[in-house]
Amino acid sequence: MLSFETTESVIEVLWDIALALFVLRSAFTYFLLTLVLSILSQHLGIDNLLPGTLNSAIHTRILTTLILSSFSASITIIYQGIPRIAALRLSIGGIALWFMATTQLLIAFIHFEEGRTSWFPGMSLRTVLSYCLYAVVYAITPALLMEVEGLLSQPRTDARQSYRSKRGYNIMSVL
């Protein structure tokens, strides 16, 4: 049992618990939004709208899910108000990846129990590597969006104004 000597130690433990619950809730929201959007895209046939340059349907599905996961990560970040801290966003992506892997294993177990065993052995090495690459990108997408947010938050400067300031004159100083 924890013994608390001061009020600060109680507040510190409660803060750690609140932060852990925030990360779990954000990761579950990210996972759930990606899952729902992926199911809707497969049901509506959005995979067919992509150009046919990919080798197989599984690669098209992975690309579609990757686009949807980046969209759901940005929605989760905006809705939850997640700060721009790389460790926090990587932990959210890692826990969401754990939710996704657990769901995939549960689906594989259900398929195995129903007698459909061709799901895993039928995969080529290229498909397995594509899934692994997708899993890594899925986990780091919330942290990668920090760079996009940084680019979007920088103030835009007019090219002519920056050229004039480098040359040392300004049109307003002449007038």
Residue 99 lies in a domain: yes
Lowest mean pLDDT among 7-11, 23-27, 49-53: 49-53
Residue 56 lies in a domain: yes
- Per-residue confidence band for 166, with pLDDT thresholds at 50, 70 and 90: low
What is the pTM for the complete model shown?
A: 0.75
Q: Is there a contact between 100 and 150 (Cβ–Cβ < 8 Å)?
A: no
Residue 157 lies in a domain: no
Per-residue confidence (pLDDT) for residue 142, from 0 to 100 = 92
Q: Could you read off the pLDDT of 99-130 as tens digits, one per residue?
A: 999 998 888 788 778 777 655 556 677 777 87
Residue 130 lies in a domain: yes
Residue 26 lies in a domain: yes
Alpha-carbon distance 52 to 82, whole Å?
37
Q: Is there a contact between 44 and 36 (Cβ–Cβ < 8 Å)?
A: no
What domain range includes position 137?
A: 7-148
Query: What is the domain count for the chain?
Result: 1
Residue 169 lies in a domain: no
Residue 166 lies in a domain: no
